[in-house]
């Protein structure tokens, strides 16, 4: 296994563990705002990243698709990936809003798990739709594509 991949994954796990410990050590009155801060902030940053790419050059998912289809993308695929980028941007905004609204009612663990679980559902649904809609292309499964992007670098400017 690639050592860079292992180090990146360990870093992500360490950040999550550290933030969880911070929330647990904080005074009880701070638990709700601290628990909501990370999911809301990450969702807003991702929404900004996806949304900005729609207005500055090539859409983010178009760049990801180019990694998967190095021979080039048809106009139909470019249009599809731009729409998908917009959908992901709206999804991230919705997650931020949902986490902010649900923060007082649910536990910190559930709040932190909500965006990734919903993202997993969106990823799987989109993958199945893409396999059906674009049968003529080969598609990596979502896990294989994610590992490929982690190993070879995410296509961000």
User: What value does the mean pLDDT of the chain take?
Assistant: 86
Span 106-127, average pLDDT: 87
Q: Provide the percentage of residues in the chain whose pLDDT is more than 90.
A: 36
Whether this prediction's pTM lies above 0.85 is answered by no
Q: Provide the percentage of residues in the chain whose pLDDT is more than 70.
A: 95
pLDDT band at 90 (very low <50, low <70, confident <90, very high): very high
- pLDDT reading at 125 higher than 90: yes
Domain ranges of the chain: 34-152
Helix (H, G, I), strand (E, B) or coil at 106: coil
Give the position of tokens 């663990």: 109
- pLDDT reading at 153 higher than 80: no
pLDDT band at 155 (very low <50, low <70, confident <90, very high): low
Query: pLDDT by residue (tens digit) across 24-66?
Result: 788 888 877 887 888 899 899 999 999 999 998 899 999 888 8
Helix (H, G, I), strand (E, B) or coil at 145: helix
């Amino acid at each position: 296994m690639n050592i860079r991949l292992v180090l990146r994954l360990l870093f992500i796990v360490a950040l999550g563990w550290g933030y969880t410990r911070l929330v647990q050590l904080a005074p009880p009155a701070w638990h709700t705002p601290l628990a909501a801060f990370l999911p809301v902030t990450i969702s807003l940053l991702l929404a900004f990243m996806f949304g900005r790419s729609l207005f500055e050059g090539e859409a983010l998912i178009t760049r990801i698709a180019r990694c998967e289809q190095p021979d080039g993308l048809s106009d139909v695929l470019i249009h599809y990936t731009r729409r998908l980028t917009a959908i992901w941007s709206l999804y991230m905004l919705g997650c931020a809003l949902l986490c902010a609204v649900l923060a007082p009612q649910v536990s910190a663990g559930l709040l932190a798990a909500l965006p990734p679980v919903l993202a997993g559902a969106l990823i799987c649904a989109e993958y199945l739709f893409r396999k059906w809609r674009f049968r003529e292309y080969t598609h990596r499964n979502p896990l294989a594509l994610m590992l490929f992007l982690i190993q070879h670098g995410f296509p961000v400017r």
